[in-house]
Amino acid sequence: MKAMQHRYTDRWRWDEWKWSSHCGNCIANCSYRIYVKDGEPLFEEVAGNAPGAEGVPDMNPLGCQKGAAWLSMRTGGERILYPMRRVGERGSGKWERISWDEALETIADSVIEAVEEQGPNSVLFDNCTEMGICGPAARALLVSRLGAATLDGNATVADVHHGHWLTFGNLLGGSTADDVFRAETVIIWQGNPAYTRIPYYHYIPEARYNGAVVITIAPDFSPSSVHADIHIPIEPGSDAAFALAACKHIIDEGLYDADFVKSQTDLPFLVKETDGRFLTGADLERSGKTNRFFVWNPASGGPEQVDPSRLGSPSDPALEGTFEVRLHDGSTVKVSTVFTLLRRRLEELTPEKASEICKVAPDVIRDFARRVATTATKLCNGLGSCKHYHGDLMERSMDLLLALTGNWGKPGRGFWTYIIALLEGEVMGMLKQGRGAVASEKAIATLETVLEQLRATDPSVTDAKAFLQLMRIGSPRASVSPPAFFFYHHCGYGEIWDRAGYGSSPRPCSEYIEEAERSGWWGGLIKPAPDVEPRVLFQTATNILRRTRGGQRELLRHLWPKLKLIVAIDWKMPTAGLMADIVLPAAHEAEKLDLHAPNSHSWERMLSDRAAEPLGEARSDAQIFRAIGIAISKRAAELGKVEYKDSQGALRRWDELAKQFEQVDEDEFEAAIIDEVLRDSSYTGNLPAGFSLQTLRDEGIAIPERLPRPVAAVMASDIEPGKPLVAYRRHVEEMLPYPTHTGRAQFYIDHPWFLEADEALPCHKPPPKAGGDYPLAVTGGHPRWSIHATNTTTAVILETTRGRPTAHINTADAASRGISDGDTVEVFNDVGSYRVMARVSPAVRPGQLILYASWEPYLFEEWKDGTFVEPGMVKWLHFAGGYGHLYYTELQWQPAQSDRVFFVDVRRVVPAS
């Protein structure tokens, strides 16, 4: 008893504390304090310093069980403490400890050789889960100065909301988490916030106490269904049918908000019945513009041009009808409004018909529709819809539902999703040439000039469009590249993507990819080029073999043999590290200074300070990239090399890599990065006046006074201190156009491929039989117990679960195959197989198999994990470009792999012991 008492009181004998936070890729933003004694962290606890807003519960306490266990990962025996070099075959597990100098020299030599033989695009950087801004900032310096390539992280993970992009021309429509409290209906759809938004989940039950009805739409009785008022058990992959039937009911019953639809959307726009294209200025006048659109004016009985600079003008167009219009060549065509085409499309999709597809009772669809139409509805849309092959159709259907019911841009309505919550200093960092205040002023001046030039080109160019346009222009020159082309040209996916029945393309997928490349839609973005061999791969805070769909199966076979050097930078050993050549020890979160990477659940930024010395020879990610840059310059000089040709053929100097890093002392490197971002953010009014790293150290939190300008423009909203942030307000309140092709929330995409696919309007399409004709549909999700694989080897966390990978199967499906809980089963289809423990549960929908995407592959037999059965399809339509808002900018529109609803079967192999 006495000893226990001491253990308790000892805990409080700390001599100082430091601000802290964790992993960037739980996409939460929790502030902790680490208590330190004699230089060693004792424990950490939630800081509870998030501010509150008026009329809603405050955010605190932000935290989760992984956060509570984060420090145990520092000393729990999982760490890599020294640079390691492989001595046996890749994956043989034979390593030797080497010095940092030796590791850096080997890396530098391989990079120099790759650059000289294949060009710098043959050096690839892959990243994802880093803690904050310093590692990524240092990496960006290295990659862009070297001219190497980075795989776009939003597509490698498949968090691209294709459907929302098609509708809104951006991905920034998320309000803050506290706005959920003001909703009357909360829909949890394609996500599982009880697991994945743990610190913010309290707003959902709090909204319920406040009178809201919570609805979860999910095939399984998911953990987020447990606390919902209504669980709608949907057939996997049938969400568009469900949503569109609800839309039809709303239209048929006249429950839609006609004013909202007429002013905010393209539903009143006229489309030519002849070719399915919008009626544009170019149809009506010889010198007319293709980006001017028309509605029908019932008063004049003719088409009237839509004002491109203001929504809702003309103010009372016909929403429905088919009319005759005379074109400039003298011919006459029939035109219909998009709304009329929509009514036609939905004609067959009665709740009864949809019920056959989504297996939800017709009356449940009707009740749901009526509720959404009559209440302030918040759509808590997870990133699950991004991961379905036809996820774009699902999201467009959800968007349509919200549009018909006037459900965004107002308190308690619209989307609660994930957006990277940048500071203005980070945005400026991309534009600045050099450091310091003078460089900031110059960057702002240049930005103003370019924006002015862009706006002058056309009155339809709003600030949002101009900012996005600017990013678009910069994209080919930046180092980031959409990874689908890399998968296609260098990783062997073309064969799978072309398999009959696996996708939905009328012709083989590869024909569309080649057409997209020939059309120049992705000009300058395809890295490495098809004729360049990838040579060096750096992986920081990611696990390419686990994360990539079909990863181990395809990458080990097609990519690995081409790579002369694979470097993993991690603080413990990921499977892709086990298959690497060199592993570099990264500092744990408690061992480095960083500005925590946040998410738009709230826009505050938290500090994470250095509470302890790095263990062993670990270094922060930022320091590692700095050291690599300096080492490359040094080795080039030793080898007598001065210049090299980059992948565009321009000359670059080897010594510039070191120079840019050596401008700041090693000890000050991270502090300088953070301080500059904070000062720039303060300078532009994003953060309070005079805000610096010292302010953040004093206060632990940076509370923005307004959004960064580009974000405010695209989100059509801004921060009002002390109030929840509501996205898309300015569209609704000020009639500011959307950054889409038509300037409206756009439901009709008249790109030729979309017309070919019959997806100009949203519709339901069944998930293709990827994997083969098998009875079980695989879905997944992110686990409660781990941030991806990061915590799957943490002892204390493993003790809270079965401690090994499990796949969840329905009781009846298990019984019919003779499977009992705890048996080892083989999951198989036409592309592969793996073995896993069965977890039998009636909460799983019959016909569904759930594998939470988290486990380290090496925890499975022969390291064969779920990726072995994942086909890893991308949807061909997402290679489309050359149309209005269908263009690439970093993190946005681009193809990404799907992993939800492909097909497998299961057989028992080893009974439970």
Binding site residues, ligand MGD, CB under 6 A? 23, 25-27, 128-131, 157-159, 189-193, 195-196, 217-220, 222, 234, 236-237, 239, 382-384, 387, 540-543, 546-547, 549, 569-572, 574, 586, 589, 621, 779-784, 786-790, 853, 866, 870, 899-900
SS3 content of the chain, % helix, strand, coil (to 5): 35, 15, 45
Give the chain's radius of gyration (CA, Å).
Answer: 27
Give which of ligand MGD, Mo ion, ligand SF4, none residue 417 binds (C-beta under 5 to 8 Å, depending on kind): none
Considering only 71, 111, 198, 725, the residue that binds ligand SF4 (CB under 6 A) is 198
Nearer to ligand MGD, 403 or 787 (CB): 787
State how far Cα 343 lies from the chain centre: 33
Q: Which is nearer to Mo ion, 158 or 590 (CB)?
A: 158
Element (DSSP H or E) covering residue 583: strand 582-585
Please state, in angstroms and rounded to a whole number, the distance separating the CA atoms of residues 599 and 24.
9
Residue 450 phi/psi, 5-degree rounding, is -65, -40
Closer to ligand MGD by CB, 149 or 849: give it.
849
Nearer to Mo ion, 159 or 257 (CB): 159
Q: Does 340 bind ligand SF4 (CB under 6 A)?
A: no
Q: Contact with ligand SF4 (CB under 6 A): which of 17, 26, 167, 376?
A: 26
Specify the pairing of strand 701-702 against strand 605-608: antiparallel
Q: What is the sign of the dihedral through the CA atoms of 768, 769, 775 and 781?
A: negative
Residues 30-49 that bind ligand SF4 (CB under 6 A): 30
Task: Rule CB under 5 A: say whether 655 interacts with Mo ion.
Answer: no
CA distances from 497 to 104, 154, 487, 526, 764 (A): 38, 20, 10, 18, 21
Number of residues forming the site for Mo ion (CB under 5 A): 2
Going by C-alpha positions, the residue among 540, 549, 543 that lies closest to residue 487 is 549
Count of CB atoms within 10 A of residue 296's CB?
25
Compare residues 397 and 791 and give the one whose CB is closer to ligand SF4. 791
Among 67, 237, 268, 303, binds ligand SF4 (CB under 6 A): 67
Backbone phi, then psi, for 578, in 5-degree steps? Answer: -60, -25
Among ligand MGD, Mo ion, ligand SF4, none, what binds residue 603 when CB lies within 5 to 8 Å by partner kind? none
Nearest alpha-carbon partner for 95 in 109, 105, 83, 77: 83
Of these partners, ligand MGD, ligand SF4, Mo ion, none, which one is at the site of residue 63 (CB under 5 to 8 Å by kind)? ligand SF4
**Residue 797 engages ligand SF4 in binding (rule: CB under 6 A):** no
Span of 18-26, 51-59, 286-294, 503-511 interacting with ligand SF4 by CB under 6 A: 18-26
| Residue 157 in contact with Mo ion, rule: CB under 5 A | yes
Among Mo ion, ligand SF4, ligand MGD, none, the one that 67 touches (CB under a kind-dependent 5 to 8 A) is: ligand SF4
Q: Which two tokens stand for residue 105?
A: 């020299």
CB-based contact 545:91 (threshold 8 Å)? no
List the one residue from 78, 102, 159, 304 that touches Mo ion (CB under 5 A): 159
Shortest distance, position 193 Cβ to ligand SF4, whole Å: 12
Shortest spacing between CB 19 and ligand SF4, in angstroms: 12
798 near 79, Cβ under 8 Å?
Answer: no
789 binds ligand SF4 (CB under 6 A): no
Q: Indicate which of Mo ion, ligand SF4, ligand MGD, none lies near residue 853 (CB less than 5 to 8 Å, by partner kind).
A: ligand MGD
State the binding partner of 219 from Mo ion, ligand SF4, ligand MGD, none, CB within 5 to 8 A by kind: ligand MGD
User: Which span (19-27, 94-102, 141-149, 434-442) binds ligand SF4, by CB under 6 A?
Assistant: 19-27
Interaction partner, residue 691 (ligand SF4, ligand MGD, Mo ion, none; CB < 5-8 Å by kind) = none
- Which one-letter amino acid corresponds to residue 250? I
DSSP β-bridge partners for residue 293: 280
What sign results for the dihedral spanned by CA atoms 502, 507, 508, 509? negative
Q: Which does residue 107 touch among ligand SF4, Mo ion, ligand MGD, none (CB within 5 to 8 A, set by kind)?
A: none
Rule CB under 6 A: say whether 141 interacts with ligand SF4.
no
CB of 188 to ligand SF4, least distance (A): 18
Distance CA(897)–CA(503), nearest Å, equals 12
Q: Which is nearer to ligand SF4, 541 or 869 (CB)?
A: 541
Cα separations in angstroms, 365 against 217, 239, 243, 244, 335: 11, 11, 8, 10, 32
Could you tell me which stretch among 30-38, 140-148, 151-159, 481-489 binds Mo ion (CB under 5 A)? Answer: 151-159
Q: Count Cβ neighbours within 10 Å for each residue of 176-209 and write b for 16 or more, e otherwise.
A: bbbbbbbbbbbbbbbbbbbbbbbbbbbbbeebbe
Residue 199 site contact among Mo ion, ligand SF4, ligand MGD, none (CB < 5 to 8 Å, cut-off depends on kind): ligand SF4
> Closest CB to ligand MGD belongs to which residue?
382
Whether 376 contacts 183, CB under 8 Å: yes
Residue 50 in contact with residue 59, Cβ under 8 Å? yes
Contact between 615 and 596 under an 8 Å Cβ cutoff? The reply is: no
Q: How far is the CB of 31 from ligand SF4 (least distance, A)?
A: 8
At residue 544, φ and ψ (nearest 5 deg) are -60, -30
CB atoms closer than 10 angstroms to residue 818:
10
Task: Name which of 447 and 576 has its Cβ closer to Mo ion.
Answer: 576
Q: Is 26 in the site for Mo ion (CB under 5 A)?
A: no
Residue nearer to ligand SF4 on the CB measure, 45 or 705? 45
Interaction of residue 21 with ligand SF4, rule CB under 6 A: yes
Judged by beta carbon, residue 195 or residue 242, the one nearer ligand SF4 is 195
Q: How far is the CB of 367 from ligand MGD (least distance, A)?
A: 17
Residue 307's binding partner, choosing from ligand SF4, ligand MGD, Mo ion, none, with beta-carbon cut-off 5 to 8 A by kind? Answer: none
Binding status of residue 574 toward ligand SF4 by CB under 6 A: no
Minimum CB separation from ligand MGD for residue 313, in Å? Answer: 37
Residue 137 falls in which region: left (phi positive, over 0), alpha (psi -120 to 50) or beta: alpha
Strand pairing of 806-809 and 833-840? parallel
Q: Are 214 and 204 in contact (CB under 8 A)?
A: yes
Among 64, 73, 143, 532, binds ligand SF4 (CB under 6 A): 64
> Smallest distance, Å, CB 17 to ligand SF4?
16
Nearest distance, CB of residue 161 and Mo ion, angstroms: 12
* Least gap, CB of 152 to Mo ion (angstroms): 13
Output DSSP code: residue 530.
T
* Cα–Cα distance measured from residue 887 to residue 876, given in angstroms and rounded to the nearest whole number: 15
Tokens at 10, concatenated: 């000892």
- β-bridge mates for residue 570, sequence order: 585
Sequence letter at residue 297: N
Structure-block tokens of residue 785:
């117990």
Interface pick for ligand SF4 out of 18, 22, 730, 744 (rule CB under 6 A): 22
| Residue 567 exposed, middle or buried by CB count within 10 Å (0-12, 13-18, 19+) | buried
Q: Which of 17, 19, 23, 424 binds ligand SF4 (CB under 6 A)?
A: 23
Return all residues near 851 (Cβ < 8 A) that are at least 6 apart.
Answer: 778, 780, 805, 807, 808, 827, 836, 866
Q: How far is the CB of 61 from ligand SF4 (least distance, A)?
A: 10
Residue 145 contact partner, candidates ligand MGD, Mo ion, ligand SF4, none, CB within 5 to 8 A by sort of partner: none
Give SS3 for 841.
Answer: coil
SS3 label, residue 425: helix
Is residue 193 a contact point for ligand SF4 (CB under 6 A)? no
Q: Which residue is nearest to ligand SF4 (CB)?
A: 67
The smaller minimum CB distance to ligand MGD, of residues 217 and 657, is found at: 217
Amino acid code (one letter) for 197:
R
Q: Where do contacts with Mo ion occur on this chain (CB under 5 A)?
A: 157, 159
Q: Where do contacts with ligand SF4 occur on this chain (CB under 6 A)?
A: 21-23, 26, 28, 30, 62-64, 66-67, 198-199, 787
